Every structure is written in C-alpha cells, then in structure tokens.
C-alpha cells in the first residue's frame, strides 16, 4: 500500500522530546505546541494509513493529535492511539483534539457527536473539543436550523451542551475554529459556560492582515491560537519554498524552509499542526523544538506578513461577515 509505511512490530516509543514546548490552557492543562493534523491530504482518508500515521507520530515522540468529526477517520486515529498505549505510552501524555461541524450544531446533536467521537477514538475523554466553523455553508442544514433557529442561537446552544459535557469530564477544554472576533465575543458573553481556550485558524507568515486582528484579540484574552496550514497552505506553499528571505535563513541555519516557518509560528506563541504521513517529515517537524530563531531572524519573517493577495488571499477563510 502506497503512502505511510508500516510501523515495525518491535518499534518502541521514544521518550517525550527533551525540549518540548507547551502552552497552558484554562484550568492548567498543557498542550504541546507541535501536533499532527489529521486532515486534507491523501493519507488522511485511508484508514490503514491514518492508523499508521497516528502510531508513527506517537512512537516518534509526538504527543498531540488533531482530528475532527468531519474528517471521518476517528476510528483509525483511535486504533493508532490504542496501539501506542499498548506499547507503553500513557493516555495522560497524549493530547487529543476533535471538532463538531455546524451540520451537527444543536443541543442533542452535539451530545451525540461527542459520544460518537469518544466511541470511535476508544477514549473516556477528549482533551480539546472545538466548534469547527461559526456557521453552516449554504444548502447545508443542522438539527438546530431545522427548528428555525439562526446561526448565532445554534452556536450558543451547542456551546452550552459542550459545557455540560465538560462539567461531566468527557471534555477537558473547549475552543473554536475559524472564528472571527465577533463570534468569540458572543460566546464569551454567555453565563455559566466553559471558557474559550483555543481558536484554530489558518496562520502562517503570509496571512492577510485581518487574521492578525483575531490573533491579537485571542492572545490578549488568554485564548491560545492553533495554526493550521502553518506552511502556507495551497495558496503559498510552493512560493514559501523559494522565498528569498526563507531560503537565506535556511542556508544560514542549516534548517529547511518548512522548519523555519514552523519555528516562527511556535515563537509567535502558537500551536502548530502540520500534517504528514511520512515518518521522516514527522521527525523533521518535531526537530523544530531543537533550535531557535533570533530576533532579527523573526523580524525577517515578520516582514513577509500581510502579503497574501489574489487567489492566495482567497484561500484564507474570512468569516468576519458570517452571522
């Protein structure tokens, strides 16, 4: 089978990385700043390759897996986690994220999704559970919308349901994904619910300037940022490889341009979830803990910011106008 190679039966877990970095969420929970994104590549949609990916990553020293109900691969991720635990990795060392898409927004539907995800993963709890997107796409419905409720009311109802599950210990932390500042404020105003601990968004050196408004708001309100597409995404990945500033730093530091971009995001105080089914690339990504960019290096990359234009800018999900 092409893609992620088989995991040797005699491969034992590597210890946690000596220079591993964490961010602290509400309540004191710590999340590793480097995780494995389980979406949006060919090896993320074959269950055997997903199993191998999760297992390789955990055995190589990674401890953070980012999935979602929408990805339809939780059972395979769960198999990988269970096998890693069988080989000696403790459950409490593994940080697992899942998400609920707006097609399942609503009190009862949210309860069912969390139960389904836990059953598929074979876990008693998830470490972080996110609202995947603030509102449904056109022509897609949800149980909540079928009751005549609007997007805002559906978000609030879902958040209240997840908060109850957090109180029961089935979820340890709650967060959001692709949320603009106004959507975050709306949930922050709800009484007697769980705090927002994380916002997962597309974030890399080429983001358009409106993204930074959300990042700055989150950081100032003790909400961590998880960066998906930290290597530029479909609009900028190829450009990043040949970018002069990045290639100059690559030669200077003896690191790949991908490693430099990942380290930049880590030093910006973000969690990163690059996705790969290649064990060598996993090792390269985890190696980002082992070097540091100087202030001048960081400024050189900072100067690339706000440069997304045309098609590349369109690849960034701008949710500010969603109700």
Helices (H), 29-86: 47-59, 74-86
CA–CA separation, 226 vs 203, rounded Å? 8
CB 156 within 8 A of CB 122: no
Name residue, tokens 């509400």: 26
- Residue 220, token pair as written in the block: 């100032």
Helices (H), 168-232: 181-188, 209-220
CA–CA separation, 12 vs 186, rounded Å? 46
Tell me the three state secondary structure of residue 62: coil
DSSP count for the chain of H helices, then E strands: 13, 10
Which of 267, 317, 319, 270 has its CA nearest to residue 294? Answer: 267
H or E stretch including 234?
helix 233-242
For β-strands 30-32 and 22-24, DSSP reports them as antiparallel
Which of 57, 71, 228, 289 is flagged as catalytic? 71
- Residue 99, token pair as written in the block: 């998400």
CA–CA separation, 128 vs 125, rounded Å? 9
Annotation says 217 is catalytic = no
Which of 233, 156, 145 has its CA nearest to residue 194? Answer: 156
Q: Which residues are catalytic?
A: 71
């Amino acid at each position: 089978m092409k893609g992620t190679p088989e995991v040797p039966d005699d491969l034992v877990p590597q210890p946690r990385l000596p220079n591993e970095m964490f961010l602290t969420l509400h309540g004191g929970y710590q999340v590793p700043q480097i995780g494995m994104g389980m979406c949006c590549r060919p090896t993320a949609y074959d269950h055997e390759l997903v199993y191998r990916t999760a297992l390789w990553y955990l055995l190589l020293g990674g401890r953070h897996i980012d999935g979602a109900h929408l990805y339809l691969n939780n059972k395979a991720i769960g198999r990988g986690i269970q096998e890693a635990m069988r080989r000696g990795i403790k459950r409490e060392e593994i940080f697992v994220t899942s998400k609920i898409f707006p097609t399942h927004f609503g009190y009862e539907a949210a309860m069912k999704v969390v139960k389904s995800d836990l059953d598929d993963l074979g876990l008693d709890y998830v470490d972080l559970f996110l609202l995947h997107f603030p509102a449904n796409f056109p022509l897609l419905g949800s149980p909540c919308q079928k009751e005549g409720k609007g997007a805002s009311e559906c978000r609030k109802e879902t958040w209240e349901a997840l908060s109850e599950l957090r109180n029961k210990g089935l979820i340890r932390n709650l967060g959001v994904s692709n949320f603009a500042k106004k959507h975050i404020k709306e949930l922050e105003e709800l009484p007697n619910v769980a705090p927002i601990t994380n916002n997962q968004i597309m974030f890399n050196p080429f983001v358009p300037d409106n993204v930074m408004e959300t990042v700055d708001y989150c950081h100032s309100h003790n909400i961590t940022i998880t960066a998906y597409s930290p290597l530029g995404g479909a609009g900028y990945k190829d450009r990043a490889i040949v970018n002069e500033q990045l290639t100059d730093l690559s030669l200077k530091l003896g690191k790949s341009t991908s490693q430099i971009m990942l380290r930049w995001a880590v030093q910006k105080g973000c969690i990163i979830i690059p996705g790969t089914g290649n064990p060598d690339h996993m090792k390269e990504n985890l190696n980002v803990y082992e070097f540091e960019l100087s202030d001048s290096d960081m400024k050189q990359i900072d100067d690339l910011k706000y440069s997304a234009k045309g098609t590349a800018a369109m690849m960034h999900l701008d949710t500010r106008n969603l109700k």
